[in-house]
Amino acid sequence: MDLIRIKNVEKKYKNGVTAIYDLNLAIEKGSFVFVIGGSGSGKSTLIKMLYREEKPTKGQVIVGGLDVAKLKNKKVYKLRRKLGIVFQDYRLLPKLTVYENVAFALEVIGEKKDSIRIKVLKALEEVGLKNKVHSYPDQLSGGEQQRVAIARAIVNDPKLLLCDEPTGNLDPDRSMEIMKVLEDINKSRGTTIIMATHDKEIVNKMKKQVITLKDGHLVNFKQKGKYDNEAI
C-alpha cells in the first residue's frame, strides 16, 4: 500500500527557478528511502513539500491519503501530526532537559501527563538515551543531540519520518550510529523513513531504496541502490 503518491509535480519558485519538474513517485508504507542528488537537485524541496513547508506549483502530493497541496494553512497541523521531522541542526530547546524536549511535542497537542511519561521514556529508550533524561542539550554530544531530536520526532508514533541531512553535522562513526537508530525504528515500528542525504558511504552501506534527483528531475528509483555518481 502506498503511503505517498506524487503525481506530475512541478515546483517553481517566485524567482523563476524550477526546483522540481515532472516528478512522479509512489512510496510504499514501511519503506526506507534515501533521496540523493547534488546541490540544487531538488532534495530539500521534495522533503519540504511532503510536510507542506512548500506547496507544488502543479500536480498532487498525497501523504497518507491527504492531498497536501489542497490543504488549507489552518489544517496543516492534521498532516504534521501524522509525521515526524528530523533536521540537520537538531533544533532542541536549550533551556529544556532531554525529557522536556521530547515531552514538549506531546504537550502541545494536549496529551495527558501519564501518557506523556510512558511515550517519552519509550522513545528515549529506543534511541539509547534513557540515562540522559535530566541532561541539557549543551551537555550532550552532537550525536546524542540528534538522537534526542529523533526521539522527539517519533514520540507520537508517526507513520512517516522525514529526515533532511540528519547526519550532515556528524563524523562517520556517529553518523552510522544514527543510521542504526533509524533502521531499528523502521523495522520495529514499521515507520516509513525518507532521508535526504549526500553521504555516499551511508547510502552504499545501508542498501535501501534510493531516489536519485538531478536538476529537479527523477533520474532513477532503485530498490537496493547505491550512490550513483554518474547520474548525479
Nearest to 41 by CA among 68, 21, 62, 69: 21
- pTM given for the model: 0.94
Domains identified in the chain and CATH numbers: 1-82+159-227 (3.40.50.300), 90-157 (1.20.1580.10)
128: left (phi over 0), alpha (psi -120 to 50) or beta: left
Largest CA distance in the chain: 52
Residues 173 and 142: beta-carbon distance below 8 Å: no
pLDDT in tens, the chain (232 residues): 899 999 999 999 999 999 999 999 999 999 999 999 988 899 999 999 999 999 999 999 999 999 998 999 998 988 888 899 999 999 999 999 999 999 999 999 899 999 999 999 999 999 999 999 999 999 999 999 999 999 999 999 999 999 999 999 999 999 999 999 999 999 999 999 999 999 999 999 999 999 999 999 999 999 887 777 766 6
Query: What local confidence, expressed as pLDDT, does residue 61 receive?
Result: 96
For 81, the grid coordinates are 501530526
Inter-residue contact 200 to 227 (CB < 8 Å): yes
The x, y and z cell numbers of residue 38, run together, are 547534488
- CB within 8 Å of 30: residues ≥ 6 apart: 3, 186, 190, 191, 192
Residue type, position 66, single letter: L
The 10 Å CB-count burial string (b at 16+, else e) for 68-94 is: bbebeeeeeeebeebbbbbbbebebee
Locate 34 and state its grid cell.
534515501
The DSSP element (H or E) to which 149 belongs, if any, is helix 142-154
Residue 67 DSSP label: E
pLDDT of residue 230: 63
> 10 Å Cβ neighbour count for 28?
12
